[in-house]
Amino acid sequence: MISFFSAKEQSALPGFRITLGYAVLYLSLIVLIPLSAAFLKTATMTWPAFVHAVTSPRVLASYRLTFGASLIAALINTFFGLLIAWVLVRYRFPFKKIIDASVDLPFALPTAVAGIALAAIYAPNGWIGRWLELWNGSYLCKSLGTGSHALLGKLSTWTGGHSLPAFLPSDFTIKAAYSPLGVLIALTFIGLPFVVRTVQPVLEDLEQELEEAAGSLGANRWQTFRRVLLPPLYPSLLTGFTLAFARALGEYGSVVFISGNMPMHTEITPLLIITKLEQYDYAGATAIAVVMLVTSFALLLVINLLQKWSLQKLRGR
C-alpha cells in the first residue's frame, strides 16, 4: 500500500488506483482464476494417477507428433521467414505492398477456415494433393517406359545389389492430408508470420556502412551475409522461432481437418484433450492440459528473456 502512495507522488496524473485496480481485478477474474482452476483440479489427483494420465502410450504418441511437427514447422518457418523478410526489405518487385500485408493472413484468417482450405488442397483429389499422389513408385516405372527395366537394373547395382522395390515400393505415395505431413503443413501455415515479423524491422534498421565496409575489404556477398548481416539477426530469428514453435504446440483448428485424427498416428495433443473431455474424463484432460500449460509458460519465459537479449544487443551496438 505504501508503494502505491509513493507511485502517486511520482506522477501527478489522476486515475492510477482505479485503472490499476480495475486492470488487476479483470485480469484475475478472466485469466488468473480460470487458469488456476486447471492446476487446482490436477492437485486433487494422486501422483500415480497423474503420471498415468500424462504418460499413457496414446498421450506420449501425441506429444511426439505435436512437439516434432511443431519443431520442424518452426525450423521451416525460420528459414523461409528470413528469406521472405530479406526479399521484402531488400528487393523491389510488383505488388510488394499487398504481398507484405498478406504475410499476416495466418493471424487474421480463422483457423477453421485455414484448416478446411488446406485439407481441400492437399487431399488426394485436391489441387496439390493430386500431384503428390501421382508421385509414386508405379507412376515412376510407367513414366520411365520400356527402358525402365534396364534402368531399374542399373539402379539396383547402385543401391548395392538390393532390388529397387526395397527402397521405392510400388505402392509408395506421398500422402499429405490425413498423415503427419498434413499436420506439418498446417503448423507451417499458422507459424508463417512470426519469423518474418520479428526479423523484418531489425533487417530494416541494419546500417549499410557495415556492409559497405565488408564489401570494400574484399568480402563477397555470401561472406558479407554470413559474417556481417546474419549475426545481428540471431536474437530476432530465435525469438521468431520460439514464437512460432509455441503457437504451433497449442494449435487446434487448422490441424484437425487435415490430420485425419488417427490415435497413435495423427492425433495432436490439443485434440486428445478434447477427446478426453467428450468422454467425461475431466481429470485426464486437465492433467494433459497442465503439462501443456507448463511447457507454454516455460516457452513464454524463454521468449521474454530472448526479447530482453535482443534489446540489449540493439542498444549495445
Partner 1 sequence: MAGSISRLNRSTTARRVTQDPAWVRWILITVALGFLGLFLFVPMAAVFAEGLRRGFGPYFDSFCNPDAIAAIRLTLLVAVISVPFNLVFGVAASWAIAKFQFPGKSLLITLIDLPFAVSPVISGLIFVLLFGLQGWFGPWLYEHDLKIIFAVPGIVLATIFITFPFVARELIPLMQSQGNDEEYAALTLGANGWQTFRRVTLPNIKWGLFYGVILCNARAMGEFGAVSVVSGHIRGKTNTIPLHVEILYNEYNFVAAFAVASLLTLLALVTLALKSFVESRSHRIQRYES
Question: Looking at 7-15, 53-61, 161-169, 174-182, which segment touches partner 1 (CB under 8 A)?
Answer: 7-15
Find, among 100, 104, 102, 105, the residue nearest to 88 by Cα: 100
C-alpha cell belonging to residue 111:
483457423
Q: Single out the residue of 173, 250, 265, 309 in contact with partner 1 (rule: CB under 8 A).
A: 250
Site for partner 1 in 264-293 (CB under 8 A): 270-271, 273-274, 277, 280, 282, 285-286, 289, 292-293
Find, among 222, 205, 192, 200, the residue nearest to 314 by Cα: 205
Contact between residue 217 and residue 187 where contact means Cβ atoms under 8 Å apart: no
Give the nearest distance from C-beta 299 to partner 1 in angstroms.
7
Question: Looking at 51-59, 92-100, 137-145, 155-163, which segment touches partner 1 (CB under 8 A)?
Answer: 92-100
Site for partner 1 in 10-49 (CB under 8 A): 10-16, 18-20, 22-24, 26-27, 30-35, 37-38, 41
Q: Single out the residue of 192, 202, 287, 306 in contact with partner 1 (rule: CB under 8 A).
A: 192
Give the nearest distance from C-beta 61 to partner 1 in angstroms.
18
Q: Which residues, including other chains, have CB under 8 Å from residue 130's CB and lie 6 or more apart?
A: 124
The Cα-based distances of 49 to 46, 96, 108, 109, 228 in angstroms read 5, 55, 40, 39, 54
Give the nearest distance from C-beta 140 to partner 1 in angstroms.
23
Per the listing, cell 483457423 goes with: 111
Distance between the two ends of the chain, CA-based, in angstroms? 40
Site for partner 1 in 71-90 (CB under 8 A): 80, 83-84, 86-88, 90
Q: What is the rounded CA–CA span in Å between residue 307 and residue 200? A: 15
Minimum CB distance to partner 1 smaller for 8 or for 317:
8
Helix (H, G, I), strand (E, B) or coil at 161: coil
Q: What is the rounded CA–CA span in Å between residue 222 and residue 263? A: 46
Q: Single out the residue of 58, 107, 169, 226 in contact with partner 1 (rule: CB under 8 A).
A: 107
Give the nearest distance from C-beta 229 to partner 1 in angstroms.
10
Q: Single out the residue of 54, 129, 237, 251 in contact with partner 1 (rule: CB under 8 A).
A: 251
Count CB atoms within 10 A of the CB of residue 173: 17
Site for partner 1 in 128-147 (CB under 8 A): 128
Minimum CB distance to partner 1 smaller for 167 or for 297:
297
